[in-house]
Amino acid sequence: MNVPAFVIFVAFILLTLAITAWAARRTRSLGDFYTAGGKVTGFQNGLAFAGDFLSAAALLGVAGLYFTAGMDGLIYGLGALVGCPVLLFLLSERLRRLGKFTLTDVLVTRISERPARIFAGTANLTVLVFYMVSQLVGAGLLVNLLAGISFGWSTLLVGTLMVVYVFFGGMVAATWVQIVKAGLLIVAAFGLSMLVLSRFDFNILTVFKAAADAGGEKVMQPGALVTGVGGALSLGLALMFGPAGLPHVLMRFFTVPDATQARRSALVATLLISVFCVFMLVIGYGAIAILSGDPAFVVEGALKGGSNMAALHLAQSLGGDILLGFIAAVAFATILAVVSGITIAAAATVSHDLYGALTGKEPDEVQELKVSRIATVAFAVVSIALSFAFQHENITFLSATAFSIAASATFPVLALCLFWKPLTTKGAISGGIAGLASAVGALILGPSIWVAIFGNAEAIYPHQYPTLLSMPLAFGVAIVVSLLTKQSPSEVLHEAEA
């Protein structure tokens, strides 16, 4: 056991539990549980926003991709950033003006409520499960490193903590855990990148040259991961439009009091994410330059423990067990914070969007809060079970998978609801189902599952991500069906009220 790392790890858990206890006293209503009562400032929400974007994939997965694929890691590293303008300039003000608790509240201003809630709830849960699995895989890796606990017990520990945070503290706890985590993550990335630069006279060009000498010229060239025009377009569409369909990210717009604060939070988040991406460029190429050829960390050209270990091995190489403990604890904090936001979005989806639509009963506030807490536990159980199937996948790949489903199913329907007046309920639901079904189908038949999980020799769908197929299909089906159908009186009324 790494004792310094374990001490820092325990200290952070105690801090987050203290935040949860404080938040529990401030979580009295449904609005407090889902959106912190809409009282979060733009700056605070910007920090939390950045925390939602900068998941475990941002630190562990991206560093690993730089190490294994060189410049292609930059594509994934900038993924969180390229989606920010869509949220900032297209969606922030409209979402804050129309929404109450969830993404579905925005959709029902334009289309019929029951089908909108059933479709959006199903799509949101699919996205959230994939995103949650990526975080739990990272958590299993970290806890195993810190305490020598097996993957199963590690994910169970994270799932238990996640349930405690959300069950008692709701969005208030999730927001403040995200704020603390975002600050720690920026500090950790800054410190690690400065230590890398100090090895090379604070000259980034020297870092690049050392990386090329250690890993070969291929690390400075694209093409190791993203092959072909179709693969590049699929990944680009997923990274650019996926964030605009992530339910736990969109819920952040409802935690601030007005549209001005919503825009401010998106600006703060964009700045922080941009700075972090620069730090990760240094960390990624620094890992290639420093770790390559070191038998303590690399065996036969592969990192010990898998590609997700690059940042952790780099920390140990530069600062020993203490720095390793700090970076690992920050990464664990990242996971805990992100899974809290994901779980709240999942609980809200079940209780606020699906429960009434499926049962035909309109729950009161007390009943809806009870359903939310039951859904929190159920979501944790399902996510932990699924994480075992994907425990050896790079967590950035898994996060990008969630992005691709969001870009294919929820984003097209949301964008058309906000910007295209002829949209009808039949068109929206048909397009959303087409996008969701084709995205999940292509993922199952693609390299990530058909080959990596099922063990087949060759994928039926050739690309890692389905977005090139599923996103245009969703838009096309929604538009064609809308043009062939008429708006119902209730849809006309919704549009007039909006």
pTM comes to 0.79
Domain that holds residue 258: 3-497
What's the total number of domains in the chain? 1
Q: With CA atoms as reference, report the closest residue to 398 among 71, 132, 197, 3.
A: 132
pLDDT at res. 86: 67
| 496 has a pLDDT exceeding 50 | no
Q: For residue range 290-336, what is the model confidence (pLDDT) as tens digits?
A: 998 888 888 877 788 777 788 889 998 998 888 888 888 787 777 77
| 493 has a pLDDT exceeding 50 | no
Least reliable range by pLDDT among 372-376, 435-439, 480-484 = 372-376
| 394 has a pLDDT exceeding 70 | no
pLDDT at res. 2: 67
- Across the range 190-218, mean pLDDT stands at 91
257: domain CATH number is: 1.20.1730.10
- Across the range 99-112, mean pLDDT stands at 76
Instruction: Band the pLDDT of 191: cuts 50, 70, 90.
Output: very high
- Across the range 432-443, mean pLDDT stands at 93
